[in-house]
Amino acid sequence: MIDFFVPSLRRTDIRQIAHSFRLSLDSGIAYFDIVEFLDIVVPKSGLFPGFTIEISGTEEDLGNVHGLAKPDENKIILPSRTYDGARAGVGRDRMTLAHEFGHICLHKNIDPAFARTTSRDIPAYSSAEWQAKAFAAEFMIPHVYIAQYASMESVADKFGVSIAAARYQLNQYRKEGLI
């Protein structure tokens, strides 16, 4: 995966940004309707003027990626398969929407340095992709709701995310002693 160097952000900084969005809009339940949020709430909020989600025909239209964000345009571009999957509750696709929204929140007005290397060659805290992945995890699976769900499967089910996302976030929270 090609990545970009961006200004460094700590996980705790990303968590605070993600939680400020999530908790201000949240009803206190684990499952968050990311599709409704991006389709209706964000455009009406005025936080990201002109925010749009553009649905393209296929992943091939985007070079086999599941989604693409253009932070300076407040635009997310998705293949129809990803958008339709998110609407149908597919965890991976829901996380993709949150990931691309993370780019909008974190990387607006930033001139990223293009890296012709993989994400492994960029320190996590300076990787646009790592930051967006961390944002998506924090946004979709906030630790304030996770304590009652002990297993990856129950987290994936209750939060509407993939097993991989549940594992990633549970491991992170355990490492930090948050659960």
In contact, 10 and 24? CB cutoff 8 Å: no
Domains and CATH numbers, the chain: 2-142 (1.10.10.2910)
Instruction: Give the per-residue pLDDT at 61.
Output: 64
Q: What does the pLDDT look like over 82-116, one tens digit per residue?
A: 999 999 999 999 999 999 999 999 998 887 665 55
Range 149-170 average pLDDT: 90
Instruction: Give the per-residue pLDDT at 22.
Output: 81
Q: What does the pLDDT look like over 8-18, one tens digit per residue?
A: 999 999 999 99
Contacts of the segment 73-81: beta carbons below 8 A, 24+ positions apart: 74/48, 74/49, 74/50, 74/104, 74/108, 75/51, 76/38, 76/52, 76/100, 76/101, 76/104, 77/53, 78/53, 78/54, 79/55, 80/55, 80/56
Instruction: Give the per-residue pLDDT at 106.
Output: 94
Q: Please state the separation of Cα 23 from the chain's center in Å.
A: 15
Burial (CB count within 10 angstroms: exposed 0-12, middle 13-18, buried 19+), residue 59: middle
Q: 66 or 135, which is more confident?
A: 135
Instruction: Give the per-residue pLDDT at 115.
Output: 53
Rounded alpha-carbon distances, angstroms, from residue 51 to 64, 72, 126, 156: 23, 10, 25, 28
